[in-house]
């Protein structure tokens, strides 16, 4: 966990840094937003930034967006100034933390960032075998290809491999190849020199250099353009990269992990993925089984998510009713662990009484696992007659997005489409005047 603290905060900054350091974070300090940007461009990135509300939070967040630096920002200020908190959230900060720093609150903010990537809950023998194999190969430097359906936990396993490797004290850097446009992904991976293209206001270190000495995760590598696949292959073979606009190669030492939810062998046969790159990546292949093939994991995962979202929303912890457990076990879980997480988040918010009952576990169109009604197929078909394919598609996309509480990535995985396709569809709906559920980071939230 890397924490970048920005500003002076009248001496409280050192106290907040000490608390974070005691919780295991690596802390870097920058006096202002521009100094922080220089650190980020040079590869001294972070998993989280905490910035003084007295600084120009909006300008810092805008610069991050303009330079495509994906970094969650938490604003902090002395006292509980509600107006300052709201301004910071509107400027782009995810949270507001009052100072002097409270150790429990600082710990909670750090945990919120780190918890998702570290939680490995395994009970089912199928997943136990996969985790054991991951731990067995972790100490080596061999490239690893993680395959499996969307939402199975491939990135969680990748982070586990990093923590169990000899590189554990170095950086773990992740890049989602499907979420970044092809014309920007090259710069994201390999970096660029100042003036290399419009918007390149300064030299920017890419993910390869940021991960130097550690582990680089290329998520959904099957979505990478063939031109970039060739450059990636050279980087793996030669252990050096070329920045966009650069003239000198840069040596790198990384352990590479890649993930794919597609059949890469089939992609190779179709000419969509380079065979030589596939063999370079596929030194060790770990298949992450879908949730329906690891039923013993369903209940412990559901209990974990129920506790997590009860804490996050300040509601009482409720156990799962026996009927709920049976219902969760029966469901097919198309969206795997991500779908289960979304389901439990909703259930925590809807539950009443002393337990989480089956009535709180909702699908898009009713309780999860509910048995089909006689004639239900005909009835469902009847509701579609007279509607265009575009109308039905729009309703499905928006209902799924609502079910996922606005989370674009989770919705795209459940729908079986790329995040880019989903975003294009949502943009089209907005232009047509159709209301679109906001993304979670578009909702204002204040921690006090």
Question: How do residues 109-166 score in pLDDT, each as one tens digit?
Answer: 666 655 555 568 899 999 999 999 999 999 999 999 999 998 899 999 999 999 999 9
Q: Which band of pLDDT confidence, cut at 50, 70 and 90, is reported for residue 196?
A: confident
Exposure string over 284-320, b if 16+ CB within 10 A, otherwise e: bebebbbbebbeebbeebbbebbebbbeeeeeeebeb
Q: Based on the domain organization, do 305 and 280 belong to the same domain?
A: no
How many domains, the chain? 3
Q: Based on the domain organization, do 265 and 149 belong to the same domain?
A: yes
pLDDT score recorded for residue 301: 95
Q: Based on the domain organization, do 95 and 129 belong to the same domain?
A: no
Q: Based on the domain organization, do 280 and 303 belong to the same domain?
A: no
Instruction: Examine the pLDDT at 369 and tell me if it is beyond 60.
Output: no
Least confident of 21-30, 264-273, 338-347, 373-382: 373-382
Q: Which band of pLDDT confidence, cut at 50, 70 and 90, is reported for residue 52?
A: confident
Q: Based on the domain organization, do 190 and 97 belong to the same domain?
A: no
pLDDT score recorded for residue 379: 38
Q: Are 71 and 45 in contact (CB under 8 A)?
A: yes
Instruction: Examine the pLDDT at 71 and tell me if it is beyond 80.
Output: yes
Q: Based on the domain organization, do 268 and 214 belong to the same domain?
A: yes
pLDDT score recorded for residue 375: 34
Find the CATH number of the domain harbouring 72: 3.40.50.2300
Instruction: Examine the pLDDT at 374 and tell me if it is beyond 70.
Output: no
Q: Which band of pLDDT confidence, cut at 50, 70 and 90, is reported for residue 447?
A: very low
Question: How do residues 302-336 score in pLDDT, each as one tens digit?
Answer: 999 999 888 877 788 999 999 999 999 999 898 89
Which has more pLDDT, 300 or 115? 300
Q: Which of 74-78, 134-138, 221-225, 433-437 has the highest mean pLDDT?
A: 134-138
pLDDT score recorded for residue 440: 63
Which has more pLDDT, 45 or 367? 45
Q: Based on the domain organization, do 271 and 168 belong to the same domain?
A: yes
Question: How do residues 285-297 score in pLDDT, each as one tens digit?
Answer: 999 999 999 999 9
Boundary (domain end) residue, out of 258, 289, 320: 289
Find residue 248's DSSP bridge partners.
Answer: none
Q: Based on the domain organization, do 84 and 138 belong to the same domain?
A: no
* H or E, element range at 416: none
Question: How do residues 98-118 score in pLDDT, each as one tens digit?
Answer: 777 666 666 666 666 555 555
34 to each of 30, 243, 376, how far by Cα in Å?
8, 22, 60
Q: Are 324 and 306 in contact (CB under 8 A)?
A: no
Domain that holds residue 184: 125-289
Q: Based on the domain organization, do 396 and 354 belong to the same domain?
A: yes
Cβ partners under 8 Å of residue 124, min gap 6: 294, 295, 296, 297
Q: Which band of pLDDT confidence, cut at 50, 70 and 90, is reported for residue 373?
A: very low
Q: Based on the domain organization, do 151 and 267 belong to the same domain?
A: yes
The overall average pLDDT reported for the chain is 83
């Amino acid at each position: 966990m890397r924490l970048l603290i920005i500003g002076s905060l009248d001496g409280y900054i050192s106290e907040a840094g000490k608390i974070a350091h005691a919780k295991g974070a690596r802390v870097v300090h920058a006096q202002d937003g521009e100094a922080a940007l220089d650190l980020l461009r040079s590869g001294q990135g972070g998993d989280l930034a905490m910035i003084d509300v007295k600084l120009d939070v909006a300008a810092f967040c805008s610069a991050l967006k303009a330079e495509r630096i994906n970094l969650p920002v938490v604003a902090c200020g002395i006292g509980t100034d509600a107006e300052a908190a709201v301004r910071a959230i509107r400027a782009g900060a995810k949270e507001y933390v009052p100072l002097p720093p409270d150790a429990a609150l600082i710990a909670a903010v750090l945990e919120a960032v780190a918890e998702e990537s570290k939680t490995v809950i395994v009970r089912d023998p199928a997943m136990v075998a996969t985790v054991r194999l991951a731990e067995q190969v972790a100490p080596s430097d061999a490239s690893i290809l993680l395959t499996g359906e969307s939402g199975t936990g491939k990135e969680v396993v990748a982070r586990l491999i990093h923590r169990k490797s000899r590189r554990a004290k170095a950086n773990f850097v992740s890049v989602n190849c499907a979420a970044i446009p092809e014309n920007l992904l090259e710069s994201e991976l390999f970096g660029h020199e100042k003036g290399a293209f419009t918007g390149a206001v300064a030299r920017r270190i890419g993910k390869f250099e940021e991960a130097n000495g550690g582990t680089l995760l290329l998520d959904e590598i099957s979505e990478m353009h063939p031109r970039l696949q060739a450059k990636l292959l050279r980087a793996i073979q030669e252990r050096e990269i070329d920045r966009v606009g650069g003239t000198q190669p840069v040596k790198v030492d990384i352990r590479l992990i890649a993930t794919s939810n597609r059949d890469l062998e089939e992609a190779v046969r179709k000419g969509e993925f380079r065979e030589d790159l596939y063999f370079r990546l596929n030194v060790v292949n770990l298949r992450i089984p879908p949730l329906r093939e690891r039923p013993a994991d369903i209940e412990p995962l559901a209990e974990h998510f129920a506790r997590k979202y009860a804490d996050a929303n300040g509601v009482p912890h409720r156990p799962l009713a026996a009927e709920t457990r049976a219902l969760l076990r029966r469901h097919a879980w198309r969206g795997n662990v991500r779908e289960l997480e979304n389901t439990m988040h909703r259930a925590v918010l809807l539950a009443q009484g002393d337990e989480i009952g089956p009535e709180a576990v909702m699908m898009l169109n009713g309780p999860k696992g509910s048995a089909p009604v006689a004639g239900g197929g005909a009835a469902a078909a009847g509701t579609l007659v007279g509607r265009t394919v575009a109308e039905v598609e729009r309703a499905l996309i928006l209902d799924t997005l609502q079910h996922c509480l606005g989370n674009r990535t989770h919705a795209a995985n459940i729908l079986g489409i790329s995040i880019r396709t989903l975003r294009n569809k949502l943009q089209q709906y907005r232009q047509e005047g159709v209301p679109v559920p906001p993304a979670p980071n578009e909702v204002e939230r204040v921690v006090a």
